[in-house]
Amino acid sequence: MLAEFIKYTYLADQVMIKALAEANFSIEKANRLFSHVLTSQHIWAKRILFQTPTLGVWEMLEPTDFAKYSEENFKMLNEIITHVSLDKVIDYTNSSGQSFSNRVSDILLHVCNHCTYHRAQIASMLKENQVQPPTTDYIFFKRQNLL
């Protein structure tokens, strides 16, 4: 089920990237928040893979590069799902310098949930700017047999 939720997150992110592009990436606050979605995915994946993140948690990405970063992130997340035990405990330090330990499965669930939360915020921003927000609900993708 976790692998499916990661796939859902990928698909929903692609739909959101398309909506932002169709709005010509004109909503700066939405671009900043979606950059955060992508940089957070990057950081968590790198932590699990014991690699050093190359992006900051609130680093502003070039919106025209969102799709590229998304592909790179989901390549890492799929590598994790395929090759790392979901019960493995990861020790890490967050961006505030605090140390924590969590299971891979809990981290991955957090990553997906974090993305859903921020996609909803971005959908509100789109609507406030007279842009029809895309449907990114999990059940929508299930109904279309994409999951």
Model confidence over 4-28: pLDDT tens digits? 999 999 999 999 999 999 999 999 9
Q: Which residues contact 102 (CB under 8 A, 6 or more apart)?
A: 89, 90, 92, 110
Does the pLDDT at position 95 exceed 90?
Answer: no
Question: SS3 of 112, please?
Answer: helix
Based on C-alpha coordinates, what's the Rg of the chain? 15
Tokens of 5: 């939720």
Predicted TM-score (pTM) of the model is 0.95
Domain 2-143 has CATH 1.20.120.450: yes
Model confidence over 51-73: pLDDT tens digits? 999 999 999 999 999 999 999 99
Q: What is the spatial distance between Cα 15 and Cα 103, in angstroms, rounded to a whole number?
A: 29
Model confidence over 108-143: pLDDT tens digits? 999 999 999 999 999 999 999 999 999 999 999 999
Q: Which residues contact 34 (CB under 8 A, 6 or more apart)?
A: 16, 17, 20, 63, 66, 118, 122
